[in-house]
Amino acid sequence: MTEKNIRRTSQPQRKKPEGKFTKTSGRLEAPEMELFGIKKAVSIQKIAPPKGSPNAKVRVIPLGGLEEVGRNMMYLEYSDPGSPFNGDIIIIDMGLQFPEENMPGIDLIIPNIKSLINKKHKIKGVIITHAHYDHMGAIPYLMPELKPTIPMFGTDLTLALIAKRQEEYQSPRIHLNFNEINNDTKLDLGAFHLEFFGVSHNIPGAVGVVVHSPVGTILHTGDFKIDQKSKISGTTEMDKLKAFGEKGVLLLMSDSTNAREPGHQYSEVEIQMEMDTIIKNAPGRLIIGTFASLLGRLNEIFQLAEKYDKRVVVDGRSMKSNIEIARRLGYMRINQALMIDISEIKKYPSQKIIILATGAQGEENAVLMRIVTRRHKILHIEPGDTVVFSSSVIPGNERSVQYLTDKLYRDGAEVINYKMLDIHAGGHAKQEDLKNLIRTVKPKFLMPIEGNHSFLRIHSKIAQAAGMTKDKIIISDNGRVVEVSKGKVEMTKEYVPANYIMVDGLGVGDVQEVVLRDRQALAEDGIFVIIAVVDSQSGKVRGSPDIISRGFVYLRESKELLFQTRQIIKRIIEDSTNNMHPVNWDWVKTSLRDKVGQFLFTKTERRPMVLPVVIEV
Q: Which of 428, 433, 459, 525 is an active site residue? A: 428
CA 161, 164, 168, 169: dihedral to nearest 10 degrees? 60
**Distance between CA 546 and CA 367 in Å, rounded?**
44
| Residues 6 or more apart whose Cβ sits within 8 Å of residue 360 | 289, 290, 291, 368, 389, 390, 391, 401
135 marked ligand binding residue: yes
337 annotated binding-site participant: no
Contact 269, 229 (CB under 8 A): yes
Q: Does 586 participate in catalysis according to the annotation?
A: no
459 among annotated binding-site residues: no
Q: Among residues 306, 308, 325, 307, which one has the least CA distance to residue 317?
A: 325
Q: Is 125 labeled as ligand-binding?
A: no
Query: How far is it, in rounded angstroms, from Cα 31 to Cα 9?
Result: 9
Q: Is 107 annotated as a binding residue?
A: yes
Q: Is 105 annotated as a binding residue?
A: yes
Which runs of consecutive H residues, i.e. helices, occur in 1-137?
3-8, 30-35, 114-117, 133-136
- Contact indicator for 290, 252 with CB cutoff of 8 Å: no
> Do residues 475 and 457 make contact, with C-beta atoms less than 8 angstroms apart?
yes
Is 411 annotated as a binding-site member? no
**70 assigned ligand-binding residue:** no
Q: Which of 228, 231, 176, 173 is nearest to 206 (CA)?
A: 231
Amino acid at 577: T
Beta bridge partners of 542: 533
> Is 134 marked as binding a ligand?
yes
238 burial class (0-12, 13-18, 19+ CB within 10 angstroms)?
Answer: middle
Confirm or deny that 425 is annotated as ligand binding.
yes
Give CA separation, 368 vs 257, 316, 379, 381, 577, in Å: 26, 9, 9, 10, 59
H/E stretch holding 177: strand 177-180
- Confirm whether residue 453 is marked as ligand binding: no
Bond prior to 582 in cis (omega within 30° of 0): yes
Give dist(CA 70, CA 72) in Å, integer: 5
Residue 558 makes CB contacts below 8 A (sequence gap 6+) with 549
Is residue 121 part of an annotated ligand binding site? no
With residues binned 3-state (H G I as helix, E B as strand, rest as coil), the percentages for the chain, rounded to 5, are 35, 25, 45
SS (H, E, C) 352-400: HEEEEECCCCCCCCCHHHHHHCCCCCCCCCCCCCEEEECCCCCCCCHHH
Active-site pick, 255, 315, 385, 433? 255
Active site residue 255: yes
> First and final CA of the chain: distance in angstroms?
60
Annotated binding site: 105, 107, 130, 132, 134-135, 201, 223, 424-428, 504
Q: Which residues are catalytic?
A: 255, 428
Annotated binding site for substrate: 424-428
Residues of each annotated binding site for Ca(2+): 105, 107, 504
